[in-house]
Structure 1
């Protein structure tokens, strides 16, 4: 069906993730629409959108992400990006790329990170950005995140030099915090000047559609969602014979003795994606039946 699967959306600047969901819902005339991995309004790039029953698959998508970020040094802001008010501004024309490279090594691997005070993280049931807007000062909890790789793409010297980097990281990593903390290590101040998410939850920027692209394809009748299991290729798969597949789709547990990880994609003998199963004590338990069969 047209309304089942994923949309690899290239989120526009100054749109919230919620804005994008609302727009897609209206364009497709579909109630069940959700997204994976919230992007800040000032960020652009990959925002995976789930359509119809695929919203139930969001929890099974891979968590790794990748970004292209521009970090401006010599500036600190309230939001750790250029959308906030400037706290300090000091020229640092003498800063060298060698110093940058040395400092960046401290951000690779598993690191402790304090999220920006303007973020969607909840403290005592309240969003940090709501508390920050009210002027309330709270202690932001430290988080352990993982950065797999940071590659320098470009370096522009000047009073307020800018650094372009490609960052591959795990879920929950704040690139704004890396910009802020890099500036702190260099004792210059730093803030995020621009951010593009190039990969998220198994989707990449190259294959993404803008909202304009989506509208054009819908008008032309050519839009096709990404297959629901296309973003789940990181999970192993199992195929069930006809009788077992029918029982599994009806919510029954199926005896299963193969040595596979706990969560799997389930197919029938015709390679039709049936849903997500959990293997426990040699029994395959339905977790999410996507396509029931009779």
Structure 2
């Protein structure tokens, strides 16, 4: 059994909880997720099964899309609704003020990860320092925000906004929410978040754990997608002879490779007929095995 499952994670579960659940229901040990979703966050969580676990790194690298709710006037120590309130005010804020600053948060931006996060510093997670009250310098890192649109605006003592966000991997949405509040001078936190896309996997096509359990009971495993469904890399094809060479770690000259996509990237999916046999990497005009499925 191998492939990728587009799981709709519900709030309250960790990503590891989902992995354990899938292992149990499918009775298979080789299961892994493709990037952590916080327990309070709902949405798309691709789960790799069997050989699919070797593709997790490629799926994780792909872009994400979210719908986020931001509450202005309330700042928390975790930058989301699960933290301790450290500042509260009733801001005189309107929609146009928020729309005015959103372009400053698109494109390539510098972002400081939150203290309550799994980012490592000197061998420890940042949340370990935060829980012990140990101050530590956090280095900013560059992320890409491809889209940041204001979808809805709600007036009130603590105004709320619904944002449609597309971004690169490693982006902290709660930090975007926090930084918007800091820029506007009133503070803010992320009050709700749902991931609507991870790479090519969309929420409209996801399966709840209840739906997966019901399908398994009916002997229906259509929720397990093929390995190629989760990788946004160009494809090449090899003959039977060169496929065997690839599986044995041998390179292949470009003239012996059938190019199936025009996209010019160093890493490619290597196919034999309709079967994915591994990931290859171009070095000049030669295709070398990078990851082989035997």
* Interval of TM-score (by shorter of Structure 1 and Structure 2): over 0.9
Q: Distance in 1 between matches of 2:274 and 2:285?
A: 22
Between the aligned partners of 1:261 and 1:67, the Cα distance in structure 2 is 27
Q: Secondary structure at the match of 2:211?
A: helix
Q: Which range is displaced more, 199-208 or 163-172?
A: 199-208
* Aligned equivalents of 1:131, 1:51: Cα separation in 2: 34
Tell me which of 16, 25, 28 is aligned to 1:27: 25
Structure 1 runs of 4+ off > 4 angstroms?
A: none
Structure 2: gaps of 5 or more residues: none
Alpha-carbon distance in 1 for matches of 2:13, 2:275? 36
- In 1: Cα distance, 2:218 partner to 2:159 partner: 45
> Does residue 266 of the first structure (1) align with residue 270 of the second (2)?
yes
Q: Structure 1, unaligned stretches of length 5 or more?
A: none
* TM-score calculated relative to the size of structure 2: 0.93
Q: Write the deviation string for residues 147-205 of structure 1: whole angstroms up to 9, x where unpaired.
A: 01111111110000110010000111101001101111111110000000011122111
Structure 1 position 133, deviation (Å): 1.1
TM-score (norm 1): 0.93
The number of equivalent residue pairs is: 286
Measured in 2, the distance between the counterparts of 1:172 and 1:243 equals 40
- For the aligned residues, what is the CA RMSD? 1.4
Number of the residue aligned with 1:285: 288
After superposing the two structures, state which structure 1 stretch, 24-33 or 120-129, moved more.
24-33
Alignment of 1:154-233 (within 5 A): 154-224=152-222, 225-232=224-231
State the distance in 2 between where 1:55 and 1:141 align: 30
SS at match of 2:227: coil
User: What is the distance in 1 between the residues matched to 2:55 and 2:235?
Assistant: 15
Which secondary structure state, in structure 1, belongs to the residue aligned with residue 21 of structure 2? helix
Query: What secondary structure does 1:46 align onto?
Result: strand
- Matched with 1:113 is 111
Distance apart, 1:273 and its partner CA: 1.8
